[in-house]
Amino acid sequence: MAEENYKSLDDIVFEKRNQEYGAYDLRKSQPKILTKSFIIGVGIILLTTLGIVLYNTVFTRADKEETFVDVTLTDVDIPDVPEEEEQKPEEPEPEPEPEIAEVRVVVPEPKKDVVKEEPMASIDEMKDKVIGTENKEGDASSGIKGKSEPTGSGEGTKPAPPPPPPPPQNFTARQVKDMAIYPGCEKFKGDKNKLQSCMQQKLTLELNDQLSDFAQVMADNGDAKAVTRVQFVIDKTGKIIQIKAMEGGGPAINKKLATESEKAMQRISQRLSARGKPIEPAKLDDGSSVNLVFVLPVTYNLE
């Protein structure tokens, strides 16, 4: 079968027109021009993108300063509470008894020799008075003289001894049987040293992330190193509480790092609560959960 030659759309459009005018040649070469333009445009975009990536990864790497945070978990030495010696309370001096009105009553006795006898006091004179050996002015009485004597040896009633001091609320890693378990360290359960080391590594990563912007603060101050300490407690529910920066001496950058480290630990505590994976609390020999206190030395190096 003979091969048939099909006319293109351009041939049909310009069949009865002047093909030497130039429009026909433009229509015929249009696909090649568009393809060439597309390839050139894509090439320009790729070269621009590649140049930006190379600039960010290669040329700025030499100028970028490396930063890292070094932390080490340490126990807190909780001082023993000295037992207070029992102090005997001073016995108050007895108050002087008020003078009570008395009236002397003389009972007449029969005697051989008549002696002048004192008349017996009348009932009205003895009212609100105590019978005594002489007449005496004083306060009216209800009929009872003085105060009742205390029973016993006469030393008075001793107050109850003070209650013993309450047990410490916070414990150190040395005082607990089971170490607290940070999320991701469950495989070391039962080994206090490995659990503490794992928690240290986890907190180092967390603080590196939280303190990433502190490098600019150090660069602005012209410092290369900052150190501080942060104390915190892992409570009975596994939350990080009582976060407190322990400011020390040294340059002013240490104080700034202390403030930022305290805020960073608070954010870490909030992130753990938001994830729903709290720290498994420390336990004593009887299996009861207790608060565990740590001091976290933080060293920020800018190299």
Tokens 């009212």, residue located: 127
Q: How far apart are CA 290 and CA 273, in angstroms?
A: 19
* pTM of the predicted model as reported, rounded to 2 decimal places: 0.50
pLDDT (mean) for 215-232: 86
Q: How far is CA 65 from CA 52, 62, 117, 210, in A?
A: 20, 8, 120, 17
Tokens of 64: 């970028």
**What is the band of 41 on the pLDDT scale with cuts at 50, 70, 90?**
very high
Q: How far is CA 160 from CA 93, 150, 225, in A?
A: 20, 18, 57
pLDDT of residue 45: 93
Q: How far apart are CA 179 and CA 190, in angstroms?
A: 8
Q: What is the pLDDT of residues 112-124, one digit of tens each?
A: 555 566 666 666 6
pLDDT of residue 9: 66
pLDDT (mean) for 58-67: 55
Q: What is the pLDDT of residues 125-173, one digit of tens each?
A: 766 676 666 777 766 655 555 454 555 454 556 677 777 666 558 888 8
Domain boundaries defined on the chain: 12-48, 66-78+168-302, 101-140
Supply the Cα-derived Rg of the chain in whole angstroms: 50
Q: How far apart are CA 137 and CA 15, in angstroms?
A: 156
The overall average pLDDT reported for the chain is: 75
Pairing of strands 67-71, 170-171: unpaired
- Bigger pLDDT: 159 vs 299: 299
Q: Does residue 101 register a pLDDT over 90?
A: no
- Bigger pLDDT: 42 vs 25: 42
264: Cβ–Cβ under 8 A, 6 or more apart, which residues? 206, 207, 210, 211
